[in-house]
């Protein structure tokens, strides 16, 4: 019998004598599956390996924390509905624990709200801590979920997230603490992250606090604050990233951006300096009522390299600036190549150093009546990579 210490849920431990033939044929990675959790309520601390089954309709009714040394595996096709309207609803993975969430294009794993009319900020989000380097130090406490993160192992492995959707995230605790869709605190590059969708989030879509984890095919749709964000000495690579604000999604912070990068808000010289690389990126605004403050704001000591990016606003939607490297807590340094702009996306605001130029084009983005985005071949993100997510693009004005 597996011990699910303090896990406040009704759990049926399935033995080999009670498994159905369907259960016998489940495809679980050897040594990673753990005991199937067949009760539907999720809450508490997971202290031994366990598996969430696609055949069970799960309800996340409190914080669920995967404790150090423990692996939580989630089957492809699993749907987890989070109780809406509270700030203590989230999935947390401690430093030294693992989350193995391997969906497929046909059967993604989905975290969503249980509300009949879901909205941004209904629940917290996914928070993962690791042992990789941060310029905030080691044994740093995460902004949310109270996890310790940081260390000296940039190859640290916190598991895998593939074909995962997180929607209606971003519950706000107070003026300083707010959940993102997915937060990576000191997560190392031994962790596999690809084919991720964060949608309808109240705060940031995906944020990196130090660490070196690499991400491929990440799509942030309808994000209240910044679509892609990093701080704390992040040094990973983000490949094929698409961020879009649809017409009608009016949830917004004072300064929503496509990309926000900084190194350390308290000390812009703290090491290691954030130095991520971004390749194949599209930032698109379709909402004429909410301007993006910037396509990319690179500030507070961070350095960044961006190759092949499109900043675009359709119709009367707009940006304040394409690129902004100016900040009173330290300017940023950006090397940019194969950069394009279309629509009312402002100018570059240089406070730090910008190497490279942005070319204005007229045939990059268009949104036909069937709500599909037409792109110029080879410019920005490859949007076909996100066909599995069945996302729509909304233009009503």
Does residue 9 register a pLDDT over 80? Answer: no
Per-residue pLDDT band at 22 (split at 50, 70, 90): very low
Tell me which DSSP letter residue 202 carries. S
What are the pLDDT digits (tens) for 211-265? 999 999 999 999 999 999 999 999 999 999 999 999 999 999 999 999 999 999 9
What are the pLDDT digits (tens) for 266-289? 999 999 999 999 999 999 999 999
Provide CB contacts within 8 A for 366, sequence distance 6+.
314, 373, 374
Q: What is the CATH number of domain 21-389?
A: 2.160.20
Mean pLDDT of 7-36: 39
Per-residue pLDDT band at 27 (split at 50, 70, 90): very low
- Average pLDDT of the residues of the chain: 90
What is the pLDDT at residue 12? 29
Does residue 344 register a pLDDT over 90? Answer: yes
What is the pLDDT at residue 33? 61
What are the pLDDT digits (tens) for 306-323? 999 999 999 999 999 999
> Which of 36-45, 156-165, 178-187, 351-360 is predicted least confidently?
36-45
What are the pLDDT digits (tens) for 186-206? 999 999 999 999 999 999 999
Nearest to 33 by CA among 102, 95, 90: 102
Does residue 28 register a pLDDT over 60? Answer: no
* Rounded distance between C-alpha atoms, residue 309 and residue 156, angstroms: 29
Does residue 7 register a pLDDT over 50? Answer: no
What is the pLDDT at residue 49? 96
Question: What are the extents of the domains in the chain?
Answer: 21-389
What are the pLDDT digits (tens) for 35-93? 777 789 999 999 999 999 999 999 999 999 999 999 999 999 999 999 999 999 999 99
Per-residue pLDDT band at 8 (split at 50, 70, 90): very low
Does residue 14 register a pLDDT over 90? Answer: no
What is the pLDDT at residue 23? 36
What are the pLDDT digits (tens) for 286-311? 999 999 999 999 999 999 999 999 99
Does residue 178 register a pLDDT over 60? Answer: yes
Nearest to 241 by CA among 297, 294, 296: 296
Nearest to 346 by CA among 324, 327, 331, 373: 324
Does residue 3 register a pLDDT over 90? Answer: no
What is the pLDDT at residue 51? 96
What is the pLDDT at residue 37? 79
What is the pLDDT at residue 396? 78
For 174-198, the DSSP string reads SSS-B--SEEEES--TTSEEEEEEE
Mean pLDDT of 144-172: 97
The SS3 call for residue 265 is coil
Nearest to 228 by CA among 250, 206, 253: 206
For 101-157, the DSSP string reads EE--SSS-EEEEE--SS--TTSS--EEEE-SS--TT-SSEEPSSTT-EE--S-TT--
């Amino acid at each position: 019998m597996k011990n699910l210490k303090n896990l406040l849920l009704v759990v049926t431990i399935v033995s080999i004598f009670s498994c159905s033939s369907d259960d016998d044929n489940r495809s679980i990675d050897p040594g990673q599956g753990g005991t199937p959790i067949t009760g539907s309520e999720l809450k508490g601390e997971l202290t031994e390996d366990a598996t969430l089954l696609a055949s069970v309709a799960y309800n996340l009714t409190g914080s669920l924390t995967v404790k150090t040394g423990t692996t939580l595996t989630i089957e492809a096709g699993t749907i987890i509905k989070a109780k809406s309207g509270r700030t203590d609803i989230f999935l947390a993975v401690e430093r030294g624990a693992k989350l193995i969430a391997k969906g497929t294009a046909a059967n993604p794993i989905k975290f969503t709200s249980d509300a009949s009319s879901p909205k941004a900020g209904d629940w917290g989000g996914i928070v993962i801590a690791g042992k990789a380097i941060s310029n905030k130090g080691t044994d740093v406490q995460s902004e949310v979920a109270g996890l310790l993160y940081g260390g000296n192992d940039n190859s640290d492995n916190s598991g895998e997230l593939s074909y995962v959707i997180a929607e209606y995230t971003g519950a706000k605790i107070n003026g300083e603490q707010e959940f993102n869709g997915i937060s990576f605190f000191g997560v190392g590059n031994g962790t596999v992250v690809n084919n991720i969708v964060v949608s309808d989030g109240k705060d940031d879509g995906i944020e990196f606090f130090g660490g070196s984890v690499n991400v491929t095919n990440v799509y942030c749709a309808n994000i209240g604050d910044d679509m892609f964000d990093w701080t704390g000495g992040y040094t990973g690579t983000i490949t094929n990233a698409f961020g879009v604000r649809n017409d009608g999604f009016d949830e917004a912070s004072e300064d929503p951006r496509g990309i926000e990068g900084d190194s350390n808000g308290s000390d812009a010289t703290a090491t290691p300096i954030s130095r991520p690389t971004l390749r194949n990126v599209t930032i698109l605004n379709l909402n004429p009522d909410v301007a993006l403050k910037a396509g990319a704001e690179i500030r507070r000591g961070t350095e960044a390299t961006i190759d092949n990016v499109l900043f675009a606003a359709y119709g009367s939607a707009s940006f304040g600036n394409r690129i902004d490297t100016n900040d009173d807590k330290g300017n940023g340094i950006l090397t940019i190549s194969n950069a394009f702009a279309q629509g009312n996306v402002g100018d570059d605001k240089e406070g730090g150093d910008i190497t490279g130029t942005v070319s204005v084009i007229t045939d990059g983005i268009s949104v036909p009546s069937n709500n599909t985005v037409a792109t110029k071949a080879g410019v920005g993100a490859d949007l076909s990579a996100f066909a599995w997510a069945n996302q729509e693009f909304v233009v009503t004005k």
